[in-house]
Amino acid sequence: MLQPLDVGVFGPFQKAWVKHFKEYMKIREKYITPRTIQAAFAQAAIWPIDHTKFTLKDYTPSQHFSTRPPFPASFPTVQHGNSHQMDKQEQGSSLGTDVGNATSSSISEQSCDQDPSEISQPTISRTLRSHRPVITSPITLTSISSSVSRLETAYKTVSKELITTQGELKETKEKLDESILHCSLSRARAEWQHKHQEDMAKKQVEALKNQKKNDALHAREEARRLGINSKKFDLPLRHYTRKEDLKDIAACMGLETTGKDVELTSQIKAYMGSNPVLGGNTRFSSLYGKRGMAKGARDDAEDIELVEDEEPEEEEMEEEEPEESDDGSSLQNIDPALL
C-alpha cells in the first residue's frame, strides 16, 4: 500500500537530498554552532533557568481531564476502537453516554474559552469517572526545580572537591620537584666527595711513593758520602753503566755528580787521563783496566781512551820522573783523600 508513496514521493526526494546533502552540511556547520544553541537556550531561559521569564500560565498543570484530542481543526476525524464493543456500550448505557458526552463537550468548550490559569477542577459524575482513562499527573515545576537544585548542589560539591584535589596535586608536585632537586644535589655532592676521596687517596699514594723515593735517594747519597774515602771499584770503567755507580766514582774523585751518564763518563775519563797516578791506588786501579800504576798511562791510551789528544811519550815520562822524587811534588794536584 505504501509502495506508490515510497516510489512517487520519497524516491525523488531522496535523490534530490543526496545532491544537496553536502551543501546542507556546510550550511549546518556554519550556522548551527554550539554558541548559537547556547544562546538560544539562554534566550529561552531554559538553561541557565530564569524563573523571571515564566508566567503563571506556564506553571498551570496540564488538563488531563479533557476528552478533546489536541489536534488542529483541519485534522480529519478518525474513529478508533472496536465497533462490537461500542454497540454493547450503546445498548447498555445509551442514556449515560449521552449525558457524559454532553457534559464533556460543555466542559471542553468552557476550558478552551477560559484562561488556563483560571480553570478550576469541575465536578465530574461517577459515570464519566468510570469511563475516563487514568492518566498520570505530569512532572511539576517544583520537582524540576528540586532536581535542578540537587544537581547544582552536587555540581558545586564536586567542583569544590576538584579544586581541593587540584590544590593537593599541586602541593604534591611541588614536593616531588623539591625531592628531585634535593636528590640531585645529594647525588652531585656524593659524587664530588667520592671523586675528592679518590683524588686524596691518589695524592697520598703519590706522596708516599715520592717519600720512599726521596728516602732511598737520601740513603743513597748518605751511603755515597760515607763511602767516598773507603769505597773500592773492582771493574774497569767501561763496565759501570748505571748512573748511580758513575755518581759514586765521580763523588770519590771529588767531581760533580750531576748531569747525564755520558757527561759523567766523559768527566771521569778526563780526570783519570789527567791524573794517571790514580792507577797506583788500589781503590781506582781496576778502573784503568789490565795493569796498575807503572803502565797506567799506556793502558789509558789503549783500553779506555780517556782523551782524544794524548801528549807525547816524552811528556808522559816527564810526568813519571817526578814520581821518584822524595818530596812528592807529582801528587800536588790530586786529592789526598783519594790516595
Cβ–Cβ < 8 Å for 242, 226: no
Residues 279 and 315 in one domain: yes
pLDDT of residue 152: 92
In this structure, the answer to whether residues 303 and 235 fall within a common structural domain is yes
220 and 299 part of one domain: no
Residues 261 and 185 in one domain: no
What CA–CA distance (Å, rounded) separates 7 from 4?
A: 5
Residues 215 and 239 grouped into a single domain: no
Hey, what amino acid is at 206? E
In a domain, 118, yes or no: no
Same domain, 217 and 240: no
Q: Which domain holds residue 245?
A: 230-325+334-338
Cell of 28: 549546518
Residue 140 placed within a domain:
no
pLDDT value of residue 278: 80
Q: Where a domain ends, among 199, 226, 253? A: 226
What is the identity of the amino acid at 192? W
Does residue 162 sit in the same domain as residue 202? yes
Same domain, 208 and 261: no
- DSSP category for residue 81: S
DSSP secondary structure letter of residue 220: H
Length of the chain: 339
Say what the pLDDT of residue 205 is. 93
Both 241 and 304 in one domain: the answer is: yes
Residues 198, 234 within the same domain: no
Q: Is residue 124 part of a domain?
A: no
Q: What is the pLDDT of residue 289?
A: 79
- The pLDDT, as a whole number, for residue 203 is 92
Looking at 226, 248, 273, which one is the last position of a domain? 226
* Cα torsion angle, 21, 23, 26, 32, sign: negative
Tens digit of each residue's pLDDT, the chain (339 residues): 567 777 777 888 888 888 888 899 999 999 999 999 999 998 888 888 888 888 877 777 665 555 555 666 666 665 544 444 555 555 554 444 444 444 444 444 444 444 444 444 444 444 444 444 444 445 567 778 888 888 999 999 999 999 999 999 999 999 999 999 989 989 999 999 999 999 999 999 999 999 898 888 888 777 777 777 778 888 888 888 888 888 888 888 888 888 888 888 888 888 888 888 888 888 888 888 754 443 444 444 444 444 344 443 434 434 444 344 334 434 444 454 555
| φ, ψ for residue 204, nearest 5 deg | -65, -45
**Pair 210, 280 in one domain:** no
**Residue at 312 is within a domain:** yes
Q: How many whole angstroms separate alpha carbon 235 and alpha carbon 213?
A: 28
Q: Which three cell numbers stand for residue 105?
A: 463537550
207 and 236 share one domain? no
**Residue 218 domain flag:** yes
Domain presence at residue 259: yes
Q: Is residue 240 in a domain?
A: yes
Domain boundary among 49, 70, 90: 49
DSSP state string for 109-121: HHHHHS-GGG---
> Which grid coordinates belong to 204?
697520598
pTM of full prediction above 0.85: no
| Count of structural domains within the chain | 3
**Per the domain annotation, does 253 fall within a domain?**
yes
